[in-house]
Chains A and B, each alone.
Chain A
Amino acid sequence: MNQTEQSFDELKRLLKLKQHEVPPPGYFNNFSDQVVSRIRAGEAGGKQTYVERLEVEAPWLVGFLRIFEARPGLIGGLATGLCLLLVVAVVLDERSEVASKSLLTVSQPVVAAPDNSVAALTQSTLVAAADPGSGIVAATNPVTSLQPVATLRPARCFSRSASRRSVINSINFRFCAVCA
């Protein structure tokens, strides 16, 4: 360690010369007065700006934000990342919707009545809907095949809530007394 310290002796002597770089004599005579005047002016002016208050109260946050100020590319990258994340989230959501809709199409032999109320739904109609020769084309009807049943039936018809998942599971639901 001493050897390394010695190897820098000349450099340290050179750096000591920096101590002589001082402002002209009398420079500091009014320095503290200027500081105090600015403090008084700030107090008289009343309010600090939001950034000034933030600098005092949360210097870590200001430091964090200044990273972006010093490197504009970083904020661009972060924004791009967030956008990508949003797009991925939207795509995943779409996929899950499509998957649930395809389930609906397969398991939905519901025939809508003209008055938009739910028609009779029995086990026999279910079988008929699955049979192409039965004359009931439930799966090709865009309303009944693509829309969840929940939108077609009055909420009062079933005792369970009308969420999509409950529709898929409610194929064997019995009618309530009001509809019957």
Chain B
Amino acid sequence: MNMSETAATPDASTPAGMLEVDLVRQARHGDLAAYDELVKRYQERIYATIYHMTANHEDANDLAQDSFIKAFQALKSFRGGSSFYTWLYRIAVNKTINFLKQRRNKHHFSLNDLDYNTEHNPDLVALISHKTPLREAGLTELQKKLNEALMKLSEPHRMVVVLHDVQGQSHEDIAEIMDCNIGTVRSRLFYARQQLQGYLSEYAKST
């Protein structure tokens, strides 16, 4: 077996090539290599969700790490009724909401630069050059407005918007993650969008 073959088909005996179910089973028995692989698979999505909720990279980093550690400690109580991914999300969401409740009155942003691709995103270019009266508004300004508008929403409403409109999760998954029914998810999403539409009326005009 040469190196290229190894790279093309991951070995099922290594954590990288294992199914999630097997990784979870091994991690439950204390296998940290298996858990390391689980962290790698979900770190970006968990981090992004927390970041969009907190608008702060340091907080997002701490909370994401705490969520993974807590999930490892609680793995024995994971019954497998839902997917590991949903279960992990639920831990992260609860941790984030608790954190936000504690620092409710301390709104502070750490606005990081947008990545290079953003400047060439066709949606954004169209938005700034044609749709808005503030053509000269920069990306940073837009990002700031967007974050400020999101921060005005309550935590459950913000979470639904982040999970659905930013991360593209389904209503069913969100209901499971947030431990509520789909009707609640839909109504929260509708209300949150209405609110955002009002806050971002200069940028997001309804058709």
Contact = CB atoms under 8 A, between A and B. Distances in A.
Interface of A: 4, 6-23, 28, 31-36, 38-40, 42, 48, 52, 55-57, 59, 63, 66, 69-70
A70 B103 CA distance: 9
Interface in B104-137: 104, 112, 114-115, 117-118, 121, 123-124, 127, 131
B144 to A, nearest CB: 11
B143 interface: yes
Contact of B51 (A4, A21, A28, A38): A21
B32 A36 contact: yes
Nearest to B99: A66
Contacts of B98: 63, 66
A17 B70 contact: no
Interface of B: 32, 35-36, 39-40, 43-44, 47-48, 51-52, 57, 64-65, 68-70, 72-74, 77, 94, 98, 101-102, 104, 112, 114-115, 117-118, 121, 123-124, 127, 131, 142-143, 146, 161-162, 165-167, 190, 193, 196-197, 200, 203-207
A48 B104 CA distance: 28
A115 to B, nearest CB: 71
Nearest first, the 5 closest Cβ-Cβ pairs linking A and B are A20-B118, A32-B39, A11-B204, A15-B165, A7-B206
A39 B32 contact: yes
Residue among A31, A40, A63 facing the most chain B CB atoms (10 A cut-off): A31
Contacts of B165: 11-12, 15-16
Residue among B39, B77, B101, B190 facing the most chain A CB atoms (10 A cut-off): B39
Residue among A8, A9, A48 facing the most chain B CB atoms (10 A cut-off): A8
Given A28-B47, A70-B101, A40 B32 contact: yes
A95 B47 CA distance: 62
B104 A39 contact: no
A161 to B, nearest CB: 52
22 contacts: A7-B207, A8-B206, A11-B197, A11-B200, A13-B204, A14-B200, A15-B196, A17-B146, A18-B52, A19-B166, A20-B121, A23-B51, A23-B57, A31-B39, A32-B36, A32-B43, A36-B39, A38-B65, A39-B32, A55-B70, A59-B94, A66-B101
